[in-house]
């Protein structure tokens, strides 16, 4: 038997993508994908958050490139996928189908699925739809797409970040602050940059300022760049307005389909964006998961305790058969 891998205290070095391409999935959408690491390694599918956040080179650093075949892709409308920030034919079921199309396109039989925040939601939706294709699940900042969690994002986060929430609501005329989701959505889908641009910046700044335990200027600056802020804000609002395209409570209801799939949840104790109650509820219904609550972290995968927890989950899963 293989020895249990030693825990790591840092991310893997930055590495370049080995292959990349575009997969036409459904007009007008083409999704960008890339591979890094070992060509014949254990495949792992990285799912970014948002919806709309996209992938970056840093997302490859959670995985040992000598062991894993690392596959990243930008979901519809996000990152380098085209058309950018497009809400047409963009829903949860289509994103699940895109993951499966990419698996087949790359000739992968089964893979580990790894996702945080919205990426955890999409990973669960994929695993509950295609459990036989999933070797294991690694989740961070669990979001179960329920109305209460969306309401928490819109209002509850302000209990901990009142300044950020005041700015989020203050962007809107006073008469529209009772329903900020509708008000923002109307602006975000407006074709005029002078309308959707400032709304996207305000929305994305609110999320960024609530995402870390300690203030992180770099995180706020990266999420409020115009090329990042618009797909993030527009697609999040699009999904929220449509109830994440899932029946209420569906991800928990179907958690029995995860039985037999090894899992790891890495959850910040002070995650204000996706509070730990969802991770705890999921863990009570999934006997094969290990829940790790990081005592000094919020929501972001860039926080040291979260990042190392994710790396070490992938180290443990080196012992799994394909």
Q: Which residues are annotated as catalytic?
A: 117, 271, 299
Cα(316)–Cα(318) distance, integer angstroms: 5
Cα dihedral angle (67, 119, 86, 243), rounded to 10 degrees?
160
SS (H, E, C) 201-214: HHHHHHHHHCCCCC
Q: Which of 26, 15, 118, 33 is nearest to 80 (CA)?
A: 33
Length of the chain: 322
Q: Do 114 and 123 touch, CB atoms closer than 8 A?
A: yes
Q: Which residues contact 3 (CB under 8 A, 6 or more apart)?
A: none
Separation CA 123–CA 118 (nearest Å): 9
Distance CA 280, CA 144 (A): 11
């Amino acid at each position: 038997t293989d020895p249990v891998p030693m825990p790591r205290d840092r991310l893997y070095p930055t590495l370049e993508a080995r292959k990349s391409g575009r997969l036409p999935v459904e007009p007008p959408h083409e999704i960008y994908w890339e591979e890094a690491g070992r060509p014949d390694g254990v495949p792992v599918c990285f799912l970014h958050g948002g919806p709309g956040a996209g992938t970056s080179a840093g997302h490859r650093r959670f995985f040992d490139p000598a062991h894993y075949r690392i596959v990243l892709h930008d979901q519809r409308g996000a990152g380098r996928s085209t058309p950018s920030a497009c809400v047409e034919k963009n829903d949860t079921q289509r994103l699940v189908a895109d993951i499966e199309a990419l698996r087949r396109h790359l000739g992968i039989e089964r893979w580990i699925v790894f996702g945080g925040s919205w990426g955890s939601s999409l990973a669960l939706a994929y695993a509950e739809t295609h459990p036989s294709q999933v070797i294991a699940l690694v989740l961070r900042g669990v979001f179960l797409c329920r109305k209460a969690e969306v309401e928490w994002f819109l209002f509850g986060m302000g209990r901990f970040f009142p300044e950020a929430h005041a700015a989020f609501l203050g962007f809107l005329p006073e008469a529209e602050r009772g329903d900020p989701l509708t008000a923002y959505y109307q602006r975000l889908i407006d074709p005029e940059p002078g309308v959707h641009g400032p709304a996207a910046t305000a929305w994305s700044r609110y999320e960024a300022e609530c995402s870390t335990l300690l203030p992180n200027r770099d995180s706020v600056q990266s999420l409020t760049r115009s090329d990042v802020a618009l797909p993030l804000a527009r697609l999040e609002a699009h999904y929220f307005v449509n109830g994440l395209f899932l029946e209420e409570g569906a991800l928990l209801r179907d958690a029995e389909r995860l039985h037999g799939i090894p899992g790891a949840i890495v959850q910040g104790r002070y995650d204000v964006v996706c509070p730990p109650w969802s991770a705890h509820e999921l863990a009570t219904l999934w006997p094969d998961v290990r829940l790790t609550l990081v005592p000094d972290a919020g929501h972001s995968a860039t926080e040291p305790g979260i990042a190392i927890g994710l790396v070490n989950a992938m180290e443990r899963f080196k012992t799994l058969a394909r």
